[in-house]
Chains A and B, each alone.
Chain A
């Protein structure tokens, strides 16, 4: 007889997903890893995990493609199917938490793409009730910005920002997806005030970006894996809309705490409003 399944409901970005497993140790891992994001909300989606022998996370490229009505998510260390009509899916993976994070990120990226949101390779934080996103290539300073943050700043993530449309623009949510800081973000949300593309330099300065350049930078940093033209079209629409509603700038910064004064005093408007 199969062992009974136990469930941890993990709510990231206001989207509760039930993760079920018959393995008690994996359940403990789930609960520890997503502590702060566990929820008693009614799940919108369900994923059933079946574990394979433990192994490392894979450096293989991920593939996300349609298989009939289902999505097929594959990498060397996991194989998952998800049916967006029923909201249910199954995952075969080892107990590696990085594999788990990857599956969840891909699932959220698919859900968000349909809903006009996205996951962005960016740190984000709340300052004065507004969310600020800091994106850029590896080494541009995302983790540095979060390390330099004053005590009154609420860290949403140092690695993967979660963005959804809201009644008056876009909102950023905290995520448990940590980067170098190895620290989960706070589970809270705020309206997005600005997105900064980071570059380190000799002084702190904010420069405007032409809309097309902003969209190009944005698209290059959105986490999106699906080989699906309709979803890509939707994502491109979302990126254009985001640029029209949110101030997007290049932030050149010298890595000391004064850069946060620049952020705190920023009152920009979208270039393409």
Chain B
């Protein structure tokens, strides 16, 4: 297993709904609201806490969208860092228990 594995899971403090191909996510703690595009939605939905981000990008992003794998991973890490900073995703270098109810 690579040393720099990143694991992500959805926070239990959020509510999310899909509409017309976009995912809408709201943090119940501070009421911040986000809409995710298709790629971001694919990553968000696969955030189960035990699949490494690299695998999620490979299987759910590169497998479905025409994107360069390294660029896709870099974009995904940036996206994950941003959602993490808003409490939407939890990030760890070890597998996480799923928080989503």
Contact = CB atoms under 8 A, between A and B. Distances in A.
B26 A212 contact: no
Interface stretch (A72-80, A196-204, A215-223): A215-223
A272 B20 contact: yes
A39 B29 CA distance: 35
A207 interface: no
A229 B19 contact: no
A232 B28 contact: yes
Q: Interface SS of chain B: helix, strand, loop or mixed?
A: strand
A60 interface: no
Contact of B24 (A212, A225, A227, A229): A212
A236 B20 contact: no
Given A236-B24, A240-B19, A212 B12 contact: no
Nearest to B29: A227
Given A219-B24, A224-B31, A229 B17 contact: no
Given A216-B33, A229-B12, A229-B13, A211 B19 contact: yes
Contact of B28 (A211, A216, A229): A229
B24 to A, nearest CB: 6
B: interface residue count bin: 10 to 19
Contacts of B33: 216, 219-220
Contact of B20 (A210, A220, A226, A228): A210
Interface string B26-40: 101101010100000
Contact of A233 (B15, B19, B20, B31): B15
Interface residues of A, number: 23
Contacts of A212: 19-22, 24, 35
A233 to B, nearest CB: 4
27 contacts: A210-B20, A211-B19, A212-B19, A213-B35, A216-B35, A219-B24, A219-B33, A225-B31, A226-B28, A227-B29, A229-B13, A229-B14, A229-B15, A229-B101, A232-B14, A232-B28, A232-B31, A233-B15, A233-B17, A235-B26, A236-B17, A236-B24, A236-B26, A240-B19, A240-B24, A243-B19, A272-B20
Interface of A: 210-213, 215-216, 219-220, 224-229, 231-233, 235-237, 240, 243, 272
